[in-house]
Amino acid sequence: MKRLIIFTDLDGTLLDARTYSFEPAIPGLKLLREKDIPLIICSSKTRKEIEYYRERLDNHHPFISENGGGIFIPKDYFKSQISNLKSEENGKYQIIRLGARYSDLRKAIKELQDEGFNIKGFGDMTVEELADIANMSIDEARMAKDREFDEPFVFRGSETDTQRLLERIISKGFNYTQGRFFHVLGNNDKGKAVSLLIDLYRNNFGEITTIAVGDSPNDIPMLEKVDYPIIVQKPDGSYDSRIEIPNIIKADGIGPYGWSKVILKIISDSKSTV
């Protein structure tokens, strides 16, 4: 089997959608550690949120924050870097920035509000409001508000209003995606960031087999870039019908339960067939 590289979403995938627990995924996580298989977190969460979970997971691999806005590579992780990529050193990471400036995203949110859209971004909420709406602790909400590349928001309106809102976001030169919340972002997505990391892994390790696990539409760009795209079930046992990829694999289980089950199956199959 070629060296496996696994990319994973967090909310609703590796983490339970309601409790944010990864305990059901421990059997799969344990096997990845035993086999020394890199697990790259690729989430809409912020750098600080991902660092919090990386510490709990004892994960020391690169990670991708805020829907592909930033790639964070631990220093000296790769022997060779991609020379034509602009990166910067910041503390313990080599950072590749792909996302828009957060101040520009906040400006777009304010303009949409002035245009009459009933929209509220994370930057408009107090820590207490965000903790309540997202079922987070105060500390988690504080980390979620410390954003760099992406602004999640809630919106109340009809389907027609929603379509008008999304068209206005595009007209302002930004993009949008949707996970648990709507997001306004720049010219970045999970797929672009995953592609760059895949190239880095190939440059350093040769031929690899890539896997990605997600659950929502914002995972589609990531899922489209790997050899084995996988989705887990939603809390009601369904799969998100908006994810339409020809070779998609549907894990048998909700969130981290399905995550662990499919990871164990893949690794136990020496031919990488699932």
- Name the region of 12 (left: φ>0; alpha: ψ -120 to 50; beta: rest): left
Q: Which domain holds residue 30?
A: 3-98+189-268
Residue 82 has pLDDT above 80, yes or no: no
Final residue in a domain of this structure, among 185, 210, 240 = 185
219 domain-assigned: yes
pLDDT at 11 over 60: yes
What does the pLDDT read at residue 273?
A: 39
Domain shared by 29 and 144, yes or no? no
**Is 273 part of a structural domain of the chain?**
no
Number of independent structural domains in the chain: 2
- The yes-or-no verdict on residue 84 having pLDDT over 90 is no
Average pLDDT over residues 51-72: 96
Please list the active-site residues: 9
Residues 180, 159 within the same domain? yes
Whether 274 is in a domain gets the answer no
pTM of the entire predicted model:
0.91
CATH number of the domain within which 17 lies: 3.40.50.1000
Select from 69, 150, 66 the least CA-distant residue to 108: 150
Taking CA atoms, 4 is separated from 14, 59, 62, 213, 232, in Å, by 18, 16, 15, 13, 19
pLDDT at residue 126, rounded to an integer: 97
- Tell me what the pLDDT averaged over the chain comes to: 93
Estimate to the nearest angstrom the gap between the alpha carbon of 49 and the chain centroid: 11
CATH number of the domain residue 114 falls in: 3.30.980.20
DSSP state of 149: S
